Amino acid sequence: MKFFVDTAEIDAIAELNDLGMVDGVTTNPSLIMKSGRDILDVTKEICALVSGPVSAEVTATDADTMIAEGRKLGEIADNITVKVPLTWDGLKACNVLSGEGKMVNVTLCFSANQALLAAKAGATFISPFIGRIDDLNLDGLDLIADIRTIYDNYGFDTQILAASIRTANHMSECAKIGADVATAPPGIIKAMANHMLTDKGLAAFLADIEKTGQKII
């Protein structure tokens, strides 16, 4: 499973990228706002930092303007993925932009029917929002499984990009289901390395070696 990092913070992306933990980046207007920077400037910097897809979201809601914004974003770098909402206008924009050879990430997906439409429209990625479905006392992972079944049934090339990741457990569960990509904040990706038994075992090893008075260097 590929890891995309869900942030617009350059330092956080660089740290994970240096460790080989970044296959791509997802951004949105809310993340850009948190960074306090110009949307085009920060997107260009991210694209220069990572080689994988960088999702940059349109701000319009009508198809014609989404298409125009998508073309503008696509001029930033070859690894730009134009991010459009899963609305009827967004699907129209997806169809046009993907037909022009641009990568398109259709976001805000909350049903298998929506995912099926996005695949038919030529989406490169579909972004089901796990955490927001969980907030409704439903299981967002069920949606990932449903989309995986549908896409496998018909051989769709659209990649499942699990989004709204809230926990490290979401990451492993998405991998077991077969999501192609999971995008998560830097803190969630780092949390995947944590386990109380690792900490306990390390403490015991360090205590024992300290008793011997030995050092490697």
**Vertex 120 angle, CA 137 and 59, to 5°:** 70
Q: Would you please indicate which residues are annotated as catalytic (active-site) residues? A: 83
**Vertex 32 angle, CA 26 and 131, to 5°:** 50
Which residues lie below 8 Å from residue 102, measured CB to CB, with a gap of 6+? Answer: 70, 71, 74, 80, 81, 82
Which residues lie below 8 Å from residue 198, measured CB to CB, with a gap of 6+? Answer: none
Tokens representing 174 are: 């998405």
Element (H, E) at 106: strand 103-109
CATH number 3.20.20.70 given to 2-212: yes
Residue indicated by tokens 């260097």: 217
* Whole-number Å distance between alpha carbons of 187 and 14: 14
The pLDDT profile of the chain, 217 residues, written as one tens digit per residue, is 999 999 999 999 999 999 999 999 999 888 888 888 888 899 999 999 999 999 999 999 999 999 999 999 999 999 999 999 999 999 999 999 999 999 999 999 999 999 999 999 999 999 999 999 999 999 999 999 999 999 999 999 999 999 999 999 999 999 999 999 999 999 999 999 999 999 999 999 999 989 999 888 8
DSSP sequence for 121-138: TT-SEEEEBHHHHHTTTS
Give the residue ranges of DSSP H helices in 27-154.
29-35, 39-49, 63-74, 88-99, 112-120, 130-134, 140-154
* Whole-number Å distance between alpha carbons of 66 and 45: 22
Tokens representing 115 are: 């995912």
* Whole-number Å distance between alpha carbons of 30 and 192: 24
**What pLDDT shows up at residue 179?**
98
**What pLDDT shows up at residue 64?**
98
